[in-house]
Amino acid sequence: MELRLKIVAAVVETHDALRPLYRVMLAMGCVAVLVLALGFVLLLKFAPPGQRSGYRAEVTGVYLYDPNTGSIAGSPMTRFHRTQLFAARVAWEKLPPDMLVSARWTDSLDDESGTTQPTPERAGSLARQNALVPVRASRQFRADLPGQYTLTVVRYAHGQPVELLASARIIVLRDP
């Protein structure tokens, strides 16, 4: 009988010692559920369901670009040297004329390197202008940084980007 009393007393003491740890774990679980709920709300805010239009933009190519004339030359390329400026041609006419769109270049560091102006703009207006998406060279280096550059064409709704319509990637080579 005395042995049984000692075992029960040890179980009760252990149970009392675990109560604060249980409460901490319960509080951390509640915080985790709150963070998950806030993340879901943010997801719905910036990527609302039902925003897919089904349209796809076509990037017809990336060409050498002359900023003085605002024109492209040559055939489409995927590799450029640091001193070569380039611009993408997008088939804006294949999109509905009233669709708000924007296109921008980003470098390997995800810094914006070029964009359509103004942003966003109606696809019909960009088609009438035969608008190109040029990259601008870094003012500090007077050349593009080597690495991968990504063009993204997105659709806007209610002042925010909601759908990726097209993307293209090119490489700027490290010159010897």
> Tell me: the pLDDT tens digits for 1-35?
555 555 555 555 556 677 888 899 999 999 999 99
What does the chain come to in residues?
Answer: 176
Question: Concatenated DSSP letters for 35-92?
Answer: HHHHHHHHHHHHS-TT--------EEEEEEEETTTTEEESS--SEEETT--EEEEE-G
Cα–Cα distance, 20 to 25 (Å, whole number) = 9
Cα–Cα distance, 92 to 140 (Å, whole number) = 32
| Tens of pLDDT, residues 119-173 | 899 999 999 999 999 998 766 667 788 899 999 999 998 888 888 999 999 999 9
Q: Which residue has the tokens 């097209």?
A: 166
pLDDT > 70? residue 83: yes
Q: Calculate Rg over the CA atoms of the chain.
A: 28
Measured torsion, CA atoms of residues 134, 140, 146, 148, in degrees rounded to the nearest 10: -50
| Tens of pLDDT, residues 100-120 | 999 999 998 888 988 888 889
Q: Bin 54: left if φ > 0, else alpha if -120 < ψ < 50, else beta.
A: left
pLDDT score of 6? 57
Cα–Cα distance, 99 to 123 (Å, whole number) = 6
Which pTM was predicted?
0.72
pLDDT > 80? residue 39: yes
Q: Among 1.10.1060, 3.40.50, 2.60.40, 3.50.30, what is the CATH number of 59-173?
A: 2.60.40
pLDDT > 60? residue 88: yes
The DSSP code for 143 is B
Confirm if 4 and 12 have CB atoms less than 8 A apart. Answer: no
